[in-house]
Amino acid sequence: MAKITYGAVTDHTAILTRFALTKGFFREAGIDLTLKAVYGGPEMSAAVDRDEVQIGEVGTPPGLTAIASGHRIRIVGSGLDRGLAFFLIAHPSIATWADFKGKTVAALSRGSCGYWYLRDLLQQHGVDPDRDVAFRYLGPDSGRPLDFFASGEIVGMLASEPHVTVGERKGVAKFWGGPLELGDVPDIQWSIQIANTGFLDRDPALARETLRVIRDTGQYAKHHREEWLAFYADLFGVDRSVARAALEREWPLFHFDGQVDVPGLVRAIEYQHKIGAIPRIFGVDEVARLEFQPAPVEELALAS
């Protein structure tokens, strides 16, 4: 049984990998996969660089920043949420952008996707992200942001589902919309799979097979939606109605075959350079090894 450690940036992300583990798909493929939580994109990138995690899922901005700084990682595929599957939620006391001034907002970690996008949105609406607000980095507390909304400790963040739907229903957070609705920000390839370059060189077959299993799990989830919904509800500890509403909101942003949106990746590279996170505009071949991404579903259909 081939062993591999796969990284998730919270206790609930890398959802297709989690689903594949419960279904036994990795063992069927001869893979003994351990799922490890490493909280935050910069932290995950560092863990993959050290080969503590062979493949991990992060947001594109921290992944690109790490590659530009010399980390021994490359992009090898797309996570399920290829589109910008996070949304701004605000405490009910926040009615306008100016109301954020003097308050605390949250992100998973400094340098995470939510951090960069929230900074940009605040700045576009007249709120200085360095002087007008304080950032709280949730890290291992990423699974309970709504507790901090309820207590008033934080008043805004770019959150993923089902926190958005639960926050609305509990009345502790209001849904403001997605980043593309709220500001002039690029529509990028959002969630990526990154791999240690040494691992790719020493065991390319294991890398490809791991990504193939995750792709096939995506297809299984897409065509067994009720079963996946039940898994999702159990994972997050929410009822089926919340899970259904959350998945409906995210569904247009999902992509089920692990293929990187190359134009979206180019926009991400340009965006990271624009905001000063990377020193120059890198070519796709400098940051990615796309020969490892699984075959697109269209090719599979033709071959069957």
Residue 40: predicted pLDDT: 85
**Taking the domains of the chain in order of start, what are their residue ranges?**
2-82+188-303, 87-182
CA distance 39 to 128: 26
Residue 109: predicted pLDDT: 82
Residue 116: predicted pLDDT: 87
- Superfamily covering domain 2-82+188-303: Periplasmic binding protein-like II (3.40.190.10)
Residue 301: predicted pLDDT: 46
Helix (H, G, I), strand (E, B) or coil at 273: helix
Residue 43: predicted pLDDT: 92
Residue 46: predicted pLDDT: 96
Establish whether domains 2-82+188-303 and 87-182 are of one fold: yes
pLDDT(298) > 70:
no
Residue 303: predicted pLDDT: 39
Question: pLDDT-derived band of residue 299, with 50, 70 and 90 as boundaries?
Answer: low
CA distance 279 to 68: 7
- Superfamily covering domain 87-182: Periplasmic binding protein-like II (3.40.190.10)
Tell me: the pLDDT tens digits for 45-93?
999 999 999 999 999 989 999 999 999 999 999 999 998 889 999 999 9
pLDDT(32) > 70:
yes
Least confident of 50-54, 162-166, 295-299: 295-299
Tell me: the pLDDT tens digits for 264-273?
999 999 988 9
Tell me: the pLDDT tens digits for 173-232?
999 999 999 999 989 999 999 999 999 999 999 999 999 999 999 999 999 999 999 999
128 to 104, 113, 119: CA distances (angstroms): 12, 18, 8
pLDDT(263) > 90:
yes
Q: Are 4 and 206 in contact (CB under 8 A)?
A: yes
Segments of the chain assigned E as strands = 2-8, 31-37, 55-59, 73-78, 87-90, 104-107, 134-137, 156-159, 174-177, 191-196
Helix (H, G, I), strand (E, B) or coil at 10: coil
CA distance 31 to 22: 13
Question: pLDDT-derived band of residue 244, with 50, 70 and 90 as boundaries?
Answer: very high
pLDDT(170) > 80:
yes
pLDDT, greater one: 300 or 229: 229
Tell me: the pLDDT tens digits for 81-139?
998 889 999 999 999 999 999 999 999 888 777 888 899 999 999 999 999 999 999 98
